[in-house]
Every structure is written in structure tokens, then in C-alpha cells.
Structure 1
Amino acid sequence: MVNELKVKCFMCLAETLSFTEAGRRLFISQQAVSRHIAGLEQDLGIRLFERSRNSVELTEAGVRFFQFFRETGSRLQLLLAELAGEYAIQTKNIRIGYQNWLEFGPALGSAMAVLRESTPDLHLLGERHSPVALITLLESAKLDMILIHERFIPINSELRRLLLIKTPMQVVISRRDPLCIGFNGDYHIFESRPLLIDAFEGENQIATVARAGNELAPYKFEPKEIIVLPNRDSIYTEAELGRGIFLSSSMSQTIQNGSLARFDTDVLEGLFCVWRTSNSTFYIEQYAKQLRREYSALTERFLKTYRWE
């Protein structure tokens, strides 16, 4: 019966034309090489080598089998590499990052549960970061995909994006603020309050204020003052104390904060799933598509549960 060891002996002897050298390369005796070659010839019913007292030569059939095994071996290695790659994809973790102030509800876990029905060893590793950090980690291949709002996604042909959901942006303010009483639906009345905004990594105050101006453009909103704070938690605290307002997605974690009131604007913002084209795999794409289905199916329930209205 043809087996791997016999083929290895044949290939090594065909390359070296020496039983001694073939045995040395394979770490077996030359007698063992001779025995395996004889066994292969018997299995095939074809003489592969012409042997004399002082030399070994391939027969014409031996040359053809050598070419066949070499080509087959190359294709086999490619096939094994592909299968190993597919297996690695099936068992690897999907490293996903998401904006640190957003509340995603059950969609992340529900989407993964669907994929794990067919691939039980697929796992999701989640990390929260600022938008700037998310893009940096994605581009440096430290994350496989990110969930991020559209305004933070750079123009980059190497990034693939899939819209998951669009929700209204909101003005968030302390419930104790007098402007909350009798709110008439026009969020521009809050322009009289300072706007609180957090600085991203690497930003100085001038850059943060400039970014705030760009982000405010769709709202036609001109606050009397912009206050830059070091992080999102500081914004929540200052807003609770009545020292200003901030703009936030209706998916923000402020939905759990009873001290803050939220008022819809007329600006919708898309939440996207983004991944690198060079890292696009079957499971990353399937997870992104399943996320979109989950958000589509659960939007109405989210609106009621998290009061996104």
C-alpha cells in the first residue's frame, strides 16, 4: 500500500540518487530506504529505479512519477495551508471594539449566538474605547471590527462598512434645569447653556473646539460657550450638576441615568460596523450582517425598552 513514508523515500532518493544520502536526510538506514522503495515499486507494479553496483538512476516511469509526486505535493501543501487557514478562522476570536459611551443592548450577544449554532468554538472579545482609539486599533490589526458612529469613520478605501441602525441624536441636560420644564420641541433653546465636549487622545483644546464646531454644523446649533473636559465621565458629572449640556446618541449609556433628560434633535446618525478589507473573513462578514438583522428586528423593542423616542 502506498503511504507517505514510501513516497518520501522515493522523492529523496530521486533527488539524491544515493541510498546513503537519502537515509541520512530521512534519519533512517539505507537498508530501510531500499526496503521502502522496493515496497513502493511493488505497490505500483512499476520499476522506478535502475540499480547497479555503483549507481542509481530513475527509469522513464520513475521520472514521470517524480514529477507527479512533486506537483501533487505542492498542491497538497497549498490545500493544507488553505484548510489550516479556514480552520484558524473558524476557531479564532472575533475581536470587536465599540464606542465607550454607547449602550448596544442584546444585539451583540444575539448575533453571536446565531453564528455559534454552526460554529460553537467561535468567540467574541469586546473592548470599549474612544472613537480615535478604535480607528487606530482597527488599522493596526489589533481589532477585527469596530462599531462606531459615521462621523468618526475616516475616508479610507481599505475599510469596509455596514450600516447597522440610524437613531436620532439628542440634547442631554440635567432634569433640574428650568429649560426642561415646558420644553416645546425646539432643542435650539438649549443654546443658552454651555456645551460640554470631551477631548480625544492627542487633541489639544483648540483641536477639540474645532471638532466640536464641525460636529455642530448639521444641527445649526450655536451654544454660547464650549467647555472641553478630559473624558466622557466628566461630561456626565458636569451635566448632572447643571453646568452644561451635551449632544449624544440615543444609544448612549445616559439612558440609564435618571438625573439627565434627553431631547431628540432632527439629526439622525448611523451606527456602522467597520472592518479592514484585508481582514475580511467569512465569519466577520456574517457577524456584521447578523448584527444588522438583529438591530432591524429589535429596533421597536429598543425604542420601548430604552426610550429612544
Structure 2
Amino acid sequence: MNSLQIDYFIALVENMNFTRTAEKLFVSQPAISKQIAALENDLNIRLFDRTNKQIKLTPAGELIYQCFLRARVDLKNTLKEATKIYEGKTGNINISCLEGWDMSKYFSYVTQTFNQHFPGISIQISSRGFKGLVDSLEDETSDIIISIADSLSMLKSSKLFKIAEINRILTYSTHHVLALKPNLQINDFREETFYVVSDRKSNFTNNMVIEMCEPFGFVPKVVSVPNIESMMLQVESGLGVAIFDDWHRVKYNPELRFLDTESHHTVSAAWKKENSNPTINLFINEISLIINKNKLL
């Protein structure tokens, strides 16, 4: 059974005449007869009763006809939806960003744009720690992850796209002994404990703090904690300091103070090379546009 046989069968049912069907399809009558006979042979079902040069669908033929009609409509609708997915007009996209970041001013614009121009695309957004982001990309829970570029260095089969540079800030408690000192400098914190998130694979958080302090003439005491929330807790409790950035919600805490480190993080988006989701490029273009636009405001 093939599509030509099905097309000829449907046309013959609609015309109920071999000659008229052949004329409409611009083929010979024997060509129609041959394909109908082949279809009946393939199905092992008699589709028409032929009497006195007239044809009539058998009950089984009527059932097959209705089936083919439904299949034709389903195929048409499926191709329509498949085209939308291929062109990025419909589908799902899962975005994960670093926990603690306030990206509401960016994501709100992106989701609004998608709702206006790509209403068929469903966006899901979540936040995760450094390890959770990488894991979610590897197990395809996330289509795109957004994080500090150095934390993505271990990704070998992914594409990376730089979307921003954000200032690093040294964060300390308002109750810290240095809080009242005027004209604070980074090297004033040389005796402090610097808390970082544990990262056993690349150790980039530890190295980042050491490299940041090097120009100020000291090697910091670095202690690892399980996650970003634990970093905040240590700082809020006055047990030490930590390096956050301008995107982190920690800046909204009135019990904390901040010092510009004169350095920055590179923020990148990453996605798997083999991920064929067409909405990825749409999202990357939109988020980059919004972030750069906000920089100019």
C-alpha cells in the first residue's frame, strides 16, 4: 500500500466513476483500475462492488475510506505543527539560571516578547547551583543554562555564548568590625575568611577568589560551603566575607554591605550541541538583546 493508491482510492470514492476519476487526475482509466486492484490485494479486502458498470463501496470499503480521510487530516495537521516546531513557533524550552540571581528584569521582557510573537512556545524557568546547572544540561532537564562562564569550563559537548559581564562585589555584614572603617579597600579584609561554594571538579570558585585578591597583595583564607545559601548565611552571621555579584539578590539585604572588587564575572549561556530545539536561538537572541539594552539605559 502506498500514498498513490490511497489518493486514487479517495478520488474514486468521491467520483464513483473510473472514467471521471481518471479525467480529474489526468491519468488513464487503466492506471486507476491497476492501483485500486493493487490496494485491494495489499489489504486483502474488496473495497468496491462492481455491477453493470457501476461501483459502490462495500461496508469494509466505507470503513477504510473513513480511516484514510482521518489519516489525511491528521497528517496535514501534524505537518503543520511540525513546521511550527521546526521554525521555532511552538514547543517548550526549559531555562535554568544560577540560584540567587535576580534576573526578573530580563526574563520578564523575554517572556513578554515570546508571548507576543511566539505564543505557541511554553517557557519554564528554574534556578540551580553550579553543579545542578551542569547536571540539568547533561540529563537534558534544561535546554539552556545560564551561569558564570568559568563554572562551565568542564562542558565538552556544549555550545557557549557570552551574554554579559557583571561586577563582583565583596560582601560583609553591617556588624562586621570593619563596617565603620572609612575608605575600605579589599586588602583590609586580608585576615578574613572568604567563603565559596564547594566545587570539587574545577575548583573555579576557590581559584577565582585567590586570583581576585592577588593584585591586592595577599592570599585569602578560603573555606568551602555546600551552596550559595550557606555562603550568605556565613556572611550574615558575621563569620566572614564572600564574593557575590551585581545580579545577586544578596544586594537587597539591608544587613549587608558591599565593596566593589574592580573585577567582573563573565556570564554565559550553554546548551548541548546536539539539542535541535529551534527555540534555543530565539531565546539566546532575545536575552542578549534585553541585557545589552538595559546596559545602555
Structure 2 length as normaliser, TM-score? 0.71
What is the alpha-carbon distance in structure 2 between the residues aligned to residue 168 and residue 155 of structure 1? Answer: 23
- The one-letter amino acid paired with 1:127 is S
Aligned match of 1:220: 213
Q: 5+ unaligned residues in a row in structure 2: which ranges? A: 39-74
Tell whether the 8 Å contact from 1:194 to 1:223 is kept in structure 2 after alignment: no
Shift of 1:282: 4.0
Tell whether the 8 Å contact from 2:111 to 2:123 is kept in structure 1 after alignment: yes
What is the CA deviation profile of residues 258-286 of structure 1, one whole-angstrom value per residue up to 9, with x for unaligned ones?
A: 11111111221111222223225443212
Aligned match of 2:6: 8
Aligned match of 1:197: 196
Tell whether the 8 Å contact from 1:131 to 1:152 is kept in structure 2 after alignment: yes
Q: 1:43 aligns with which of 4, 14, 24?
A: 24
What is the alpha-carbon distance in structure 2 between the residues aligned to residue 123 and residue 116 of structure 1? Answer: 9
Q: 1:85 aligns with which of 82, 85, 91?
A: 82
Q: 5+ unaligned residues in a row in structure 1: which ranges? A: 13-30, 58-77, 302-309
Relative distance call for 1:227 and 1:217 in structure 2 (3 A) is: closer
What is the alpha-carbon distance in structure 1 between the residues aligned to residue 177 and residue 32 of structure 2? Answer: 102
Q: What secondary structure is seen at the aligned counterpart in 2 of 1:274?
A: strand
Equivalent pairs, count = 253
What is the CA deviation profile of residues 78-117 of structure 1, one whole-angstrom value per residue up to 9, with x for unaligned ones?
A: 9987654332342222110010121113111202212322
Relative distance call for 1:151 and 1:5 in structure 2 (3 A) is: closer
Q: What do you get for the CA RMSD once the two structures are aligned?
A: 3.6
Equivalent runs, 1:62-211 vs 2, <5 Å: 83-88=80-85, 89-154=88-153, 156=155, 158-184=157-183, 186-200=185-199, 203=200, 210-211=203-204
Shift of 1:232: 2.0
Shift of 1:120: 1.6
Q: 2:262 aligns with which of 251, 254, 266?
A: 266
Structure 1 length as normaliser, TM-score? 0.69
Relative distance call for 1:93 and 1:183 in structure 2 (3 A) is: farther
Shift of 1:247: 1.0
Shift of 1:136: 1.7
Q: 1:243 aligns with which of 231, 239, 248?
A: 239
Shift of 1:194: 0.8
Relative distance call for 1:191 and 1:212 in structure 2 (3 A) is: farther
Tell whether the 8 Å contact from 1:95 to 1:124 is kept in structure 2 after alignment: yes
- The one-letter amino acid paired with 1:264 is D
Segment of structure 1 superposing worse, 225-234 or 165-174: 225-234
What is the alpha-carbon distance in structure 1 between the residues aligned to residue 122 and residue 229 of structure 2? Answer: 30
What is the CA deviation profile of residues 7-37 of structure 1, one whole-angstrom value per residue up to 9, with x for unaligned ones?
A: 417489xxxxxxxxxxxxxxxxxx9799575
Tell whether the 8 Å contact from 2:150 to 2:204 is kept in structure 1 after alignment: no
Tell whether the 8 Å contact from 1:96 to 1:144 is kept in structure 2 after alignment: yes
